[in-house]
Amino acid sequence: MAVGRCAGCGKQGSACKVEQHLVSCEKYIALFKNHPERALLPEAEYERYKREDRSPEAKAEAKEQRLHATLVDEDRRRASQEARWATPKDILAD
C-alpha cells in the first residue's frame, strides 16, 4: 500500500485515503490556488517530505525551533509567577 501525505495540512495515511481527504482540505485548496507548483499529489508529497523535511538538517532545525519556543514559554511563565507571588507595596510606608 502506497503512503501519501497532504501538502496542505500534513495528514498522512494511505495514498487513496489522502486523495479523498484533498477534496475537502481547506489548506490544500488554498495552497493549490496560491502556489499550484507546491500542491503535489499525495505520493509525491510524501516523497518530498521524506527527502526534505525529515533530513537530519531539517530535524535539527525543527528541534531548535521547539527548544526556542519552550524557553520563551518558560520565561513567560516565570515572569507570570514572579508577578503573582510578588509582595505588594506597603501602602503605609513612605
Cell numbers describing residue 54? 525529515
Q: Is 13 helix (H, G, I), strand (E, B) or coil?
A: strand
Residues 81, 31: Cα–Cα separation, whole Å = 41
Q: What is the pLDDT of residue 94?
A: 67
pLDDT less than 50: residues of the chain: none
Contacts of 32 (CB under 8 A, 6+ apart): 39
Q: What is the pLDDT of residue 70?
A: 97
Q: What is the pLDDT of residue 51?
A: 87
Q: How far apart are the first and last CA of the chain?
A: 78
Q: What is the pLDDT of residue 55?
A: 80
Residues 14, 3: Cα–Cα separation, whole Å = 5
Q: What is the pLDDT of residue 90?
A: 87
The model's pTM is 0.61
